[in-house]
Structure 1
Amino acid sequence: MLRWGILGTGFITHAMLGAIRDSDSSSVTMLCGRNEAALSDLSAQYSVTETTTDQTELFANPDVDVIYIALPNHLHRAATEAAMAAGKPVLCEKSLTTTMEDANALIASVQAANIFFAEGLMYLAHPVMQQLVTVLRDPSVGELRSVSGFYAADIWQVVNSAGGGTLYNLGCYPASLLHLVVQTMCGEETFANRSIAAHGNIGKDDTLQDASLSVRFDNGVFANLMSTDSHGMAHAFEIVTTKGTLRFATNPWLPVAGENHMIWQPYDGPARDIVVKTEHDAFYHQVKMVERALATGPKEAPRPSPRLSDSLEIMQFLTDWEAAALGKDIPQ
């Protein structure tokens, strides 16, 4: 039985507590957060007997095997470094951080500790993403030519302004999926070799609220992404190859318990509905991924979940996108 300690009491914590409760190989030992009323509510709802407002107490608890960090992303570095110093494996919510300085320092602390760490891009642990990788590796799909995707949600009123804006709230989803597609179809080295152009709108909290991006990878593959916190609840992701198009008919970033659909439309022939059925959502599959890793010994998540190098490449992409959208020079 893997014993979890949970740091943070926001809405995402509910999803993870439900997923841990559904697993017969995990339980929650302790909840930690600054909001005592939220701690009390979570404790009662999910039958967790131990709570604390002190992170040090959480990290020092000998009955906690692994820490889930659900704090705002600008706090991820400090919390991860403290957990690593205490010898605790960590699953840390996306985005990894909000700056490359913090991202590099976080990963350095993980590598120095030589302890398991994974960034919580939970959708990548869902079976639909493993099926996507299988499809993309099939020679009959052809060669990659372009990718387009967007994620839109009217959430600017409720997100933490210290979190960096839409790119670190929502843009990390299409960015990380683009990363997986390019890496799978074009090789490990391709994603970092690119030129980009971007535009953005600043919101009332002085962060990017809307951001668009155009990318040309050095191998000639194009990509167009958009992320917005200012309106809607909408999503789209399409992959164009030399043989046809592959698009998600269901939300790729919130894969559900039940049926998840991708549509393969060859240029010559009928469309094929690719259905992935599962009894559990992405958060549950993320919990099982961590259970397997800690039971068998790897120090990082297996693909499609992000490895340490993947998390750094995604963060570099997000910070480059942010700089370009703000009209700043992109660090070389």
Structure 2
Amino acid sequence: MLRWGIIGTGFISHAMLRAISTSERSVVTAIAGRNKTALAELQSQYSVDLGFTETDELLASEQVDVVYIALPNHLHAEATAAAMAAGKPVLCEKSLTVTMDHADLLARAVRQSGLFFAEGLMYLSHPLMEQFTALLRDPSLGSLRSVSGYYSADIWQVVNPEGGGTLYNLGCYPSSLLHLVVKTMCGEDAFSKRHISAHGLKNNDGNIQDTAAVIHFENGVLATLQSSDSHGMTHSFEIVTTTGKLRFDTNPWLPEAGVNRMIWQPYVGAAREILVKDENDAFYHQTRMVERALAQGQTEAPRPAPRLSDSLEIMQFLADWDAAAGASFQPHATTA
């Protein structure tokens, strides 16, 4: 039985607490949070015995085997380094951090510890992504030519202003999926060989809230990505190859318990619906991924879940997109 400690009492902690409670191989033994009211409510709702107002107390507990960091992303590097120093493996919520300096600090702490670490891009642990990568490797799909992705949600009013804006809350999803597609279809080195241009609008916090990017990979593949936290709740992701196009009909970044769908449309012939049925959601499968990795003595997750090197490449991409969009900033915003 793997004993989890949860650091943070925000909404994302609920998702992992529910997921862990459905696994027969895991249990949450401790939660840490500065908000005493939220901490007490989580303990009561999920029947967790140990509650700490200081992170160090949780990390020192002998009742905790592995830590899930659910803090705002600008605190991820410090919290991960502290957990590693305490000898605790870590699952850290996305995005990895909000700057490459913080990402480098986090990576050094992980590598020096020799302990397990994974970024919580939970959707990459769902069977939907296993099926997706299997399709990407199918020779009948031909060669990759272009990718387009869009993700938006009206969350700008509630996100932490220190979190870097839409790119680090939402843009990390289509960015990480683009990363998976390019590396799977074009090789391990292809993703880093790119040029990016972007435009963006900022909110009153100074963070980018709406942005679009065009990416030209040196192998000739083109990609367009958009992200917004100022409106809607909508998603799209499609790849185009030399023989057809493959798109997600359901949200690839929030795979649900039940049926998730992709559509393959060849240039010649009828469209084919690909169904991936599973009774559990992505947070459950992320929990199982950590359980398996620790049971097998692994220090990182197997693909398609992100390895540390993958998380660093995705983080660098987000930083490049952020810089390109910021350079294009026009002095007007779409929200009050």
In the alignment, which residue of structure 1 is the partner of 2:249?
249
In the alignment, which residue of structure 2 is the partner of 1:188?
188
Partner Cα separation in structure 2 for residue 23 and residue 268 of structure 1: 44
Stretches of structure 1 that go unaligned for 5 or more consecutive residues are none
Give the % identical residues. Answer: 67
* Cα shift at 1:77: 0.4
Trace 1:155-174 onto structure 2 (pairs within 5 A): 155-174=155-174
In the alignment, which residue of structure 2 is the partner of 1:104?
104
What amino acid maps onto 1:273 in structure 2? E
In the alignment, which residue of structure 2 is the partner of 1:269?
269
**2:114 pairs with 1:125:** no
Partner Cα separation in structure 1 for residue 243 and residue 47 of structure 2: 52
Partner Cα separation in structure 2 for residue 78 and residue 243 of structure 1: 47
* Cα shift at 1:63: 1.1
* Cα shift at 1:53: 0.4
In the alignment, which residue of structure 2 is the partner of 1:63?
63
* Cα shift at 1:256: 0.6
Partner Cα separation in structure 1 for residue 20 and residue 298 of structure 2: 20
Stretches of structure 2 that go unaligned for 5 or more consecutive residues are 329-336
**2:307 pairs with 1:307:** yes
Partner Cα separation in structure 2 for residue 157 and residue 297 of structure 1: 42
Partner Cα separation in structure 2 for residue 240 and residue 105 of structure 1: 37
* Cα shift at 1:72: 0.1
* Cα shift at 1:49: 1.1
Trace 1:1-332 onto structure 2 (pairs within 5 A): 1-327=1-327
Could you say what secondary structure the match of 1:245 adopts?
strand
Could you say what secondary structure the match of 2:327 adopts?
coil
Superimposed CA distance per residue, residues 162-220 of structure 1 (whole angstroms, 9 cap, x where no aligned partner): 00000000000000000000000000000000011100001121100011100000000
Partner Cα separation in structure 2 for residue 95 and residue 211 of structure 1: 17
Could you say what secondary structure the match of 1:326 adopts?
helix
Superimposed CA distance per residue, residues 143-176 of structure 1 (whole angstroms, 9 cap, x where no aligned partner): 0000000001000000000000000000000000
Partner Cα separation in structure 1 for residue 58 and residue 44 of structure 2: 18
Superimposed CA distance per residue, residues 112-169 of structure 1 (whole angstroms, 9 cap, x where no aligned partner): 0000000000000000000000000000011000000000100000000000000000
Q: Which TM-score applies when normalising by structure 1?
A: 0.98
